[in-house]
Structure formats: structure tokens, C-alpha cells
Structure 1
Amino acid sequence: MDVLAPVLRHPNEPQNVELVALGEPRTGEVLVRMVAAGVCHSCLSVEKGAYPDVPLPMILGDEGAGVVEAVGPGCDSLQPGDHVILSWAPVCGRCRSCAAGLPALCPNTSPFQMRDGTTRFEAGGTPIQHFGPSTYSSYVVVDATAAVKIRADMPLDKAALIGCAVTTGVGAVLNTAQVRPGQSVVVFGCGGIGLNAVQGAALAGAQPVIAVDLAEHKLEASKVLGAEVQINAQQTDPINEVLAHSAGGVDCAVVAVGSTQVMEQALAVLRPRGVCVLVGAPRPGDLVRVDPGLLTSGERRIVGSKYGSSNPHEAFPELVELYLAGKLKLDELIGHRYRLDQINEASAALDEGRDLRGLIVFD
């Protein structure tokens, strides 16, 4: 079938909405009609050429939700009409990471192609690469393990955000850091993932929850999502301020920006046995300076967090339940809604920090 999708052919150039040929779902795959897709910073980084090894042309988009339209042979876990959230981490089913429920760490799946090493998109005879599930396309074909069924009464425009930002941010606190009630948390960077790390800290019962950013509107949003303390790093020294508001150090510092300087600041505000969780992705080759004495003298830790150390097949339905119970905020995260032909406007708004989370809404 022919579908409309924005194609990125060269870095630092606009995505052009084109008519692209989409192949039928093969064995173990499903065709999904997209309802909404979140505009993600990882996609923006590809657009700006931050990862030169990413193969182009490509259709971006790594979070979204929709409705199953058709299933390929051998797919008995889903059927047409099912409402699904798409995951960028399909399950290979044979590695230790997938067996442990951590498909984001799977070494056997490609981030740019289907499991068989081919693509389902092409234009003019040229293969178009996938960016995970390529949720910016109006229709997608994904591995069935990358489509997680959810209850039908969950609004799919809100569910789209669970596909990446919410799961990554909340999971960084609840799963990676395993924050307990009463522990203190600071989140550096209040974008889509950072604000959800704030939510995760609030869900965990952390006290206090501190938000650090450069933009006042993002700090204001952090109040709604559970942060008691807001620190503008342009106006004051964030290290001194965090230490002052946490009785000398926090139990957990989440870094949701790709700045090595901020990562060093996060390590500096940990109390003994505190954990620094790195979520943001610096530029390739950037290094963090670490004083080993901070680690050895106080048993402080630095850990990475990918997809919030989550199993999407468990996390997505759980987060849906939290939203429907009024305990997880999603409506408040959505900045602006865009049509597919406004994809470049949506990317520009993200780049300029004008949206908390932009949302592409399909007809």
C-alpha cells in the first residue's frame, strides 16, 4: 500500500512528506494505523546530523500509538482492531536480555530495519530505513513484539507518549534507581523525559523532588508533575542550590540532558550511597570527568538507564492503568498538536524548547 510519511533524506534538511510504498506484514509482523506520535529529541538529533552513522533516507518517530489493521502469518498475539502502543525495542526471544524482560538491551535487533534485515518502506525502488517503529508514518509495519496491546478505553493520543518519554523517565526512577519513599531526587533537564522522571519520583514518594532546568516554563511544568523545588541553572549555581534543599545531598540524581557538564554536576550533589542515573545521550566521543574518590569514599554509583530499564509489555499497560486512575499525568505534557504536514514545525518547536511534548495527530 502507499502511505504518507515524512522522509529524512539528508541531515539538516527538512523532512518531506512523500507517498511511500509500505510492504505487507510478513511472518510475526503487524500493520498498524497510526493515531498519534510524540515528537522525540532522539529523532531531532538524527535530523541535525548528531549521529553520522545513521543510514538515510529514513522515516523517523520512536513513540506512538494506533490500531492494528492486519497481521502477518504466525501472529496470534494480536488481531485487527486491537489498540496498541508501539515500542522501539522488539523482542528477539533468544538472548539473555529479552529473557530478563529488558528488550532495549537486546543485541539481536536492528534499530533501523526489521528483524530479517530488510525494510518495509521504499520510494522509487530505494529502500527507506526505519527509525525503530517509524511512528511519523501514517501506517507502519512492526514486529508483533513491538506492538503492545492496551485497553480500548485508553485515549490513543495520550497513550502515544507512553511509547518512549513516559516509560523512559518514570522507569529511570522506579526501575533503574529503585527510589524508595522518603528518599530525595533531583532531575536535571525538564524536557519530555525529565518531566516524567519528576513524575516517577512523585509516584515513588520521594521527598524532596527537585527540578533543574534553564527554561522557566519547563520548571513551572515540573510543579504540576510533582517537583517541590525548582532551580533555574541560568540564575544560580545548581550544585549549591541542590545541596541546600536536600540537607547536603540527594539519594538520586537523574540526568535527562546530553551534557557532560551537567552529568558532573549531578555526581557532585550525591550523598553517600547516592546513585546518578544517566539518561541523556551526549555527542559521540564526549567524556565525563569523574573523581574516583567520590565513588570509593561514599559508595556513590553512576548507572546508565535505557528505556527506563523497563519491559514494555509490562510497563505500558501498568502506565495506562495509572493514567486512567488519575495517578499519572499525560494531558499536561502535550504542548501542541500538529498535522503530518507540520512535521518540520513540530521539530523546530522541540529544538527551540517551545514544546514540552509535541504530538503529531493523524486523520
Structure 2
Amino acid sequence: MTAAVLYELGLPTPYETSTPFVIEEVDLDGPGDGEVLVEIRAAGLCHSDLSIVAGLRQRILPCVGGHEGAGIVREVGRGVMGLRNGDHVVMTVGAGCGHCRPCYDGRSALCDESGAPRGQGLLPLGTRRLHRGGQPVFHFSGVSSFAQYAVTGAEALVKIDPDIPFDVAAMFGCAVVTGVGAVFNTAKVRPSQSVAIFGLGGVGLNAVMAARLSGASQIIGIDIKPDKFPLAHELGCTATLDATAPDMVEQVRAMTDGGVDFAFDMTGVTSAVTAGIAMTRKAGEMICVGLGSSSELTSYNHASLVLRETVLRGSLMGGGVAARDIADYLRLYQQGHLPVDRLRSETIGFGRLNESLDLLSRGAVLRQILLPHG
């Protein structure tokens, strides 16, 4: 099959020139016990992909990229229940084993059993199905959707209505479940509460839509790209602010009578986290969703955190149960309450994958969708 293989991290921009993803033929073995072969029909490009390419976080190389996708089941391994050939599915990295402590607690993205193998470039049961010329090729977060086909653990797949377009469904595997889940599960935003959202990309705009559905009275979108503001207003923002404005924190505190109930950072930028903490009200919450460098540290005023009872927390893949949440969010989309299709920037083929990373790094697009079969 044709796949996008990552051999080296930290190559310089523009990526169109340095070509971190090499498009080539790769061998894929069939599914083993508990595994499923999926024909990939669409895969989303995410800032998490960009941070890996930039070398901010490490992966076992070489690997086939991509962690957000949708496709058609083509073969099921022994022991797989609930899926059969021809089913349409969303692929997600947020799935868990179902029987460890985090899974029992309703936080499948923190799964002890499946997380370690994924970090080693393997599938959840410790297997590897990719190779090239007799040499191993590793899986990306147990998904590897930048390819024409993928073998995944069955738990990473969520069956969907075949009427949902693949280029929309693909976004639910990461962007939607992460952004919407941060609002619904992690923050549990209630009617009349106020929120500020740093970063109006695919994840951030999903959080905007979720905040609107939650009944938030004030939804303040913050970004360095003002050209994102019109769509942000259409999707639910009551106000938008330029992140580079020197008085941005003061503006938020003034318009919310002392600060927001929740600030969400979708960027992974430390200055956004610091500003978010400063703009929350007493007992407000700063929720960190975006991932930056694994070695980067953020400082805060400890006395202020205590005296104001500020809550600082993370949210991984929406802080819930991926299979359950994705199914719920898909229903909201079908009912017209979650217009995720508004976030599609364009569809691309393998030939534009590296160029598309440049567009993503410049903030020129929201969600680009790779169509592996053209």
C-alpha cells in the first residue's frame, strides 16, 4: 500500500522542501486476534502531527503517520465483536482496554494497558503489522491513518452511520472528541458560565461549539489570526480578541466582571497558559488541552493559585470515554447542533502532505483532510 512514512524528526521548515513524510510503498500484514483491517478513506491533519514532525515530542521511527481517520472495515481478526466487513468506522487514539483503573474511572485516554504499547510504536496487544523491505516500520499512536490501509486494535474503532461523509467523520477521532470533550467532560460547563478559548483552530472551534451547546453566556475566542474571527462568531463566540494585544487579560476580566469561569488553552504555548490563569475568576479553572514540547515548563504564582483557589488541570482526548463520546457527538452533528463540516479547509492527496504541514504551521488552515485513495 501507499503510506506516508516519517524517518526523521526536527527537519527544518518549509516542510515542502525538507519533506519529513516520504510517500512510498509499505507492506501491511493482516489483522491478528482482536485487530481489524481498515481501508482508510479520510485522515485529518492535526497540530499533534505537526509537533511530532517538529521534534517537540518523540516517536519510534520510522513510522507511518496519522492518528485521526475514518474508513471501511475490510477484515476482522479472531475475537472481534461488534464489527464486520463493510462497516464504516472512525479511528481514535482515545480508546482504552476497558478494564484498567483509568478505564473504570471513565478516562479511556489514560488507559494503562494500551498506552505503553502505543508509545513504543506498537498496537495495543504489543504487535506490529508494518514493514518495508524486511525492516520494521512502526505504528503512530496505534492508528497510522496516513496510509491507504491500517491494522488497528478493535477498541480504537467506533462504528458510524454510513451516511456520514468520511471527510467529516475523520475529524471526530481527535479534533471533535478533544475540543468538545474538554468542555463537556473536563470542565462540565453549565448555562450562564463564561469561557475563554485560546487557539481557534480545529480543536478550539469545536470547544466553541460545545460551549454554545452548554449554554455559556460568554464565549471569548482568542487567537493571533484575526481572519479566524468571523467563523468563530458564527459558531458561537460572543467576543474575539487578538492574543498579541498587551491588555488582552485586562479586556477579558473587564468584560466578564472579574474573570471567566473557565479558560481553555488549545495551543500548548506557555504564555497562553499564563494568561489563561490570570484571566480566570476566583475559583476559576485553567484547562490545558494543547500539547507543546515534552520538556517545556510553565511557571505560575503559587500564592495566587492558593489564595484565589484557582484550578489548573489537563484534558487529554476530551477526558472521557472515546467510543461513547464520539457516538454522542456524531448524533449532535447529524441533528445540526455540531456543524463540524464548517471546519474543513480542503482535501488533499499524498503529494501535498508536506506542503499542508506548512499551511498548518502558519495557521492558514483549520482542518485539512488527506484522501489516501485520491
TM-score band w.r.t. shorter chain: over 0.9
Query: CA offsets per residue over residues 28-61 of structure 1, 9 Å max, x none?
Result: 110101111110111111111122x321111111
Greater mean deviation of Cα atoms: 82-91 or 67-76: 82-91
Contact 1:185 1:209 in 2 (8 A): yes
Q: CA deviation at 1:254?
A: 0.2
Q: Secondary structure at the match of 1:108?
A: helix
Q: Which amino acid aligns with 1:284?
A: S
Whether 2:122 is the aligned partner of 1:124: answer no
Amino acid at match of 2:310: R
Corresponding position of 1:104: 109
Q: Counterpart of 1:30 in structure 2: which amino acid?
A: V
What does 1:242-281 align with in structure 2 at a 5 Å threshold? 242-281=252-291
Say if 2:345 is the partner of 1:335. yes
Matched position secondary structure for 2:59: coil
Instruction: Give CA-to-partner distance per residue, 1:240-288, whole Å, 9 cap, x none.
Output: 1111221110000001111111101000011112111001112222222
Q: Distance in 2 between matches of 1:55 and 1:138?
A: 21
Partner residue of 1:41?
A: 47
Report the equivalent of 1:8: 6
Structure 2 Cα separation of the partners of residues 181 and 87 of structure 1? 30
The more displaced of 66-75 and 112-121 is: 112-121
Task: Report the identity percentage.
Answer: 38
Distance in 2 separating the partners of 1:80 and 1:294: 56
| 2:109 alignment partner AA | A
**Separation of aligned partners in 2, 1:320 and 1:90:** 16
Which of 220, 224, 247 is matched with 1:237 structurally?
247
- Ranges of 4+ aligned residues in structure 1 off by more than 4 Å: none
Separation of aligned partners in 2, 1:285 and 1:312: 27
Q: Say which SS state the counterpart of residue 345 (structure 2) adopts.
A: strand
**Given the alignment of the two structures, is residue 347 of structure 1 paired with residue 352 of structure 2, yes or no?**
no
What SS does structure 2 have at the residue aligned with 1:321? Answer: helix
1:82 aligns with 2:87: yes
CA distance in 2, matches of 1:326, 1:100: 31
SS in 2 for 1:231: strand
Q: Which of 207, 227, 237 pairs up with 1:217?
A: 227
Deviations 1:198-255 (A, max 9, x none): 1111111101100000001222221121101010122442201111221110000001
* Structure 2 segments unaligned to the other structure (5+ residues): 12-17
Structure 1 vs Structure 2 CA RMSD:
1.3
Matching residue's letter, 1:83: H
TM-score using structure 1 length:
0.96
Cα deviation 1:109-142 (Å, max 9, x = unaligned): 2222112323211111111111120111110000
In 1, the alpha carbon distance for the partners of 2:328 and 2:94 equals 17
Structure 1 residue aligned with 2:187, among 168, 171, 177? 177
How far off its partner does 1:147 sit?
Answer: 0.6
Write the distance in 2 (CA, Å) between the matches of 1:213 and 1:280: 14
**Matches of 2:292 and 2:352, distance apart in 1:** 28
Distance 1:16 1:285, change over 3 A: closer
Answer yes or no: is the 8 Å Cα contact 1:218–1:356 preserved in 2. no
Do the aligned residues in 1 keep the contact of 2:147 with 2:372 (CA within 8 Å)?
no
For 1:291, the equivalent position in structure 2 comes to 301
Structure 1 residue aligned with 2:15: none
Number of positions where the alignment pairs a residue of Structure 1 with one of Structure 2: 360
